[in-house]
Structure 1
Amino acid sequence: MKSEYETQTLLKAMVEGNIIAGSVRAFVNGDTCNIGRLIVHPDFQNRGIGSRLLREVEQMFKEYRRFELFTGHKSKKNLYLYGKKGYKIFKSQVINEKLTMMYLEKKEIS
């Protein structure tokens, strides 16, 4: 995890002064900003924290033409959020009979 600090941007959402409610990571590969590990603690979900973290990454890397992320096919809340924010599925990959990874992209952030 220590090496990720050197190659990725990590953001955290703080609430009540000292509680980490969520976080997200991002790194650039070519003209794409890859977004990963967008998480929000269950006690703080449905408060817009995930949306704000996603928006902050997009603003920090707004000079890039494409954003990409992935989630499991059963992560309905994640898929809903990403779709609402303009991400579209462009690829799926079957990992095993219980898991298919869904890859989403968003182009030309405005």
Structure 2
Amino acid sequence: MNKINICKANVQDAPIILEIQKQAYISEAELNNDFNIPPLTQTLEELIAEFDNKLILKIVKDDQIIGSGQAQLHGSTCHIGRMAVKSEFKGQGIGSQLLSTLESSFIEADRVELFTGKQSKANLAMYARRGYEVFKQEKLGQTQVVFLYKNLNQ
């Protein structure tokens, strides 16, 4: 397998990041029969605006962006979101590498939080393997969402 590089994205990357995000979140929408989830309805302008207040990373392989993820610090908690990998690269541990990079993005963070759909068994299994625990569930739109956390620096 050729090496991947995970680095900070820039605004010029936004169109391809949005395309990958929308492709990746179709399966989440199908699991929950909810096609109005924010990763699918987000506009390019909205994504570009997020570059001002979030860390947006891209995954590059062979000079091509194949995935992305976001993190934002609130107090001492790192909130991770919108992780997406092109479907042809899933199952190769790339998402796990991205998660590790996002988890360590803010040296001052002592906790990481993220969420996923309750029906997303593969995501939930990966998060459990990595030490995440459920702390709440709620319905967002038509989707039952599971919020997870992991304490860092222990």
- TM-score normalised per structure 2: 0.66
Dislocated runs of 4+, deviation >2 Å: none
Unaligned runs of 5+ in 1: none
1:79 paired residue number? 124
- Per-residue displacement from partner, 1:57-110 (whole Å, max 9, x unpaired)? 1122232111000000111111111111111111000346x5210000001245
Q: Secondary structure at the match of 1:64?
A: coil
Q: Distance in 2 between matches of 1:42 and 1:109?
A: 32
Map 1:1-110 to 2 at 5 A.
1-18=47-64, 20-95=65-140, 99-109=143-153
Q: Distance in 1 between matches of 2:73 and 2:105?
A: 11
Q: Which has the higher helix share?
A: 2
Percent identity over the alignment is: 38
Q: Distance in 2 between matches of 1:109 and 1:21?
A: 30
Q: Which has the higher strand share?
A: 1
* CA RMSD, 1 decimal: 1.4
Unaligned runs of 5+ in 2: 1-46
Q: Secondary structure at the match of 2:52?
A: helix
Q: Summarize the Cα distance change of 1:82–1:109 in structure 2 as closer, same or farther, 3 Å threshold.
A: farther
Structure with higher Rg: it is 2
- TM-score normalised per structure 1: 0.90
Q: How many residues align?
A: 108
CA contact (8 A) 1:62 1:109 kept: no
